[in-house]
Structure 1
Amino acid sequence: MVASGVQRFDGSRIYLNKLGGDGGSNDPNELTFADIIGDKTTIKAVFLSSFGCDIEWLLEHFAFGTPIVLVDDYDRKRGAMAEIQQPFGEVWSQMKIVHPYFETGGLYDSGTMHAKLIIIERAQALRVCISSSNLTPQDWEGVSQCIWVADFKAANDFEAPARKRVKPDHTSDFGDQLARFIETFFRSIPDSSSLWSYWVKVLTGSRFNVKLPKGVELIASAPGYWKGRR
Structure 2
Amino acid sequence: MRIDQLLASHYSRKEMKQALAKGQILVDGKAARKLSQNVDTDLQKVIIQGQPAPASKHHYWLLHKPRGVVTANRDAHHATVFDSLASCDWNPDLYALGRLDRDTSGLLLLTDNGPLGYQLLHPDAHVSKTYQVVVNGPLHSDLPALFATGIIFENGYQCRPSQLTILESSAKQSRALIELAEGKFHQVKKMFLAVGVKVISLSRVQFGPFKLNQTLPYGAYRGLTAQEKQALIQILEESR
For the criterion TM > 0.5, the same-fold answer is: no
| TM-score of the two chains, using structure 2 as the length reference | 0.31
| TM-score of the two chains, using structure 1 as the length reference | 0.32
